[in-house]
Amino acid sequence: MTRGSGKYKVTDGRSLSIGEREDLKGLKQEAVATLKHLEANPGTARSEMIDKGHLKREIDRYDGILAENSPSVPRGTNKDHMVARAKELAETLQKDMPTREQMDHPARNPGAIRKHMFWNKKNEKNVQEYKELQRRLEPDDPTATDVEKLRRP
């Protein structure tokens, strides 16, 4: 999702994170409040300068983005498959991940940074898939997508 000139576009087909959803809800609330203010005060100069139709279209667009890209909670066997895949990915990610000790004290562990960079490049797609699965399985938990919690001590 990118933000440019006040417009949101979801480009990669992923679910919105909690922060992105809250940001869109805030933008929608601001547009609704502006529209209500303009309708309550019709004679002011500001109400004549702002396009009410454009505000209504923006509100509808925010609703559409939220409805289309907010993660839906999976149910039944679909959820079971997603949980199994998330566990499989977690095991794969933990396999060669540098430990917390190595990352906290790289001076004591020569090559730890290079090892982490190699691990990061090698597992980039798995990390994205894991984050998307966690975003879908636990849409209201902001720490669900944190890969750092998989790191061994």
The pLDDT profile of the chain, 153 residues, written as one tens digit per residue, is: 444 444 545 445 677 878 888 899 999 999 999 888 888 877 776 667 778 888 899 999 999 888 888 777 778 888 889 899 999 999 999 888 888 888 888 888 888 889 989 999 999 999 999 998 888 888 888 888 888 888 888
Structural domain spans, the chain? 2-69, 76-150
Provide φ and ψ at 43, rounded to 5°.
-90, -5
Q: Give the containing element (helix H, strand E) for 7.
A: strand 7-9
CB atoms within 10 A of CB 81: 12
Using alpha carbons, list the distances in angstroms from residue 6 to 9, 40, 47, 108, 117.
10, 25, 21, 46, 34
Residues 93 and 146 sit within 8 Å (Cβ to Cβ): no
Residue with tokens 């005060």: 41
Please give the model's pTM, rounded to 2 decimal places.
0.65
